[in-house]
Amino acid sequence: MHNTTAMLIELGAIILALGLLGRFAGRVGFSPIPLYLLAGLAFGHGGILPLQASEEFVATGAEIGVILLLLLLGLEYSASELVTNLKTQYPAGAVDFVLNAAPGAAMALLLGWGPVAAVALAGVTWISSSGVIAKVLGDLRRLGNRETPVVLSILVLEDLSMALYLPILTALLAGVSLAGGALTLLIALGTVGTVLYVALRHGRLISRAVSSDSAEMLLLVVLGLALVVAGVAQHLQVSAAVGAFLVGIALSGEVAEGASSILTPLRDLFAAVFFVFFGLHTDPADIPPVLLPALALAAVTTLTKIATGYWAARRAGISVKGRWRAGGTLVARGEFSIVIAGLAVGVEPRIGPLATAYVLILVVLGPITARWTEPLARGRRPVVPQETTAVATEPAEALHANA
């Protein structure tokens, strides 16, 4: 009874604190992710007031948070959109990978962490935050800008690449043999290819089977399906997150829109728990030793992301102003960098503190570069919207409108 009481009090305090931090972030107009990470640091191992009774529940909630993040992301894209983006924007995706994964890999090797940690840190610095960037686009009222589809295409390519990257990383972290790693990759490729084929040819049938006029039934079926597929994917070493992402891709039309609207509050709750959980398992004392590498990585990859967006927008025939805006918008890192670091901490524990510091820096710097890069390049002050809200439009709507 005492343990249950303590768990309820701790869990209630965590959720209440997240709500207050989220409201504060909304009032000042920036992402609440760094505040969630700081909350985890404050109440985790080595923090001000370590939590104990609710730790197991928070760990489970964090797993669900990752699954919901990828499920909702998959719901935002249709299989046809993914195929179209692959055909038209793959050169931009290749440039994005080379410019932004290389600094992370080089830093890990310079620090002597080994090749497996290099692959992990390359992913941390490569993947931009779709959630933060979609929010920034809405806040700055750029959803209708000509460069916005270019930005979103790069995000789609990054997210789809996760379906291949995460199984490879998982195999490397598990220390499987070359044959085992090749088998894992083949399973991942086969799974992704099969899901895309089924979604393209039979997506309407799947959506019709899942569809329901009852919001309750739709919530239960979609969430249950995502958890089952995520568990099976985890068993096959394809990654639970990728399994959830593929479930989202397979659903389309009104079903995807309805599921997205009813699952978004759950996603926000458990995603916040995930960021807190990551912070809980990062000792604040471990951050100062990796702060300089994190600052160096942030500086370099800010420039490489701006260069990526500028090049991709130029290739698409966007004006110079739009090129700078596209580059500045891509800077933010967030949820996926933390997911990758969370997988890798078992091999190299210092990746956790480094990724936490790195994400904290860029999740704050990202909205700033999105607003200031183009005006600074042109030598003038930015035009600040008369009214900024925490979420001007939902990320899903932004991506649907422009993907």
Per-residue buried b or exposed e for 31-68, using 16+ beta carbons within 10 Å of the residue's own CB: bbbbbbbbbbbbbbbebeeebebbbeebeebbbbbbbb
For residues 129 and 294, give the distance between their C-alpha atoms in angstroms, rounded to a whole number.
Answer: 17
Write the DSSP symbol of residue 105.
H
Stretch 384-394: mean pLDDT: 40
82 pLDDT band (50/70/90 cuts)?
low
Query: 292: domain CATH number?
Result: 1.20.1530.20
Measuring CA to CA, how many Å separate 254 from each of 146, 201, 251, 260, 345?
27, 17, 9, 10, 39
| 390 vs 125, more confident | 125
Of the listed ranges 12-26, 74-88, 314-328, the least confidently predicted one is: 74-88
Which structural domain range is residue 13 located in?
2-402
Domain count within the chain: 1
Which residue, among 400, 89, 57, 90, has the nearest Cα to 261 in the 3D structure?
Answer: 400
CA-based angle 375:33:345, to the nearest 5?
A: 115
124 pLDDT band (50/70/90 cuts)?
very high
For residues 40 and 282, give the distance between their C-alpha atoms in angstroms, rounded to a whole number.
Answer: 8
Chain Cα centroid distance, residue 13: 26
Measuring CA to CA, how many Å separate 386 from each of 39, 141, 343, 383, 389?
31, 11, 42, 9, 10
Write the pLDDT tens digit of every residue in 51-75.
665 667 777 887 888 788 778 877 8
User: What pTM does this model have?
Assistant: 0.72
For residues 300 and 264, give the distance between their C-alpha atoms in angstroms, rounded to a whole number.
Answer: 33
Stretch 256-272: mean pLDDT: 85
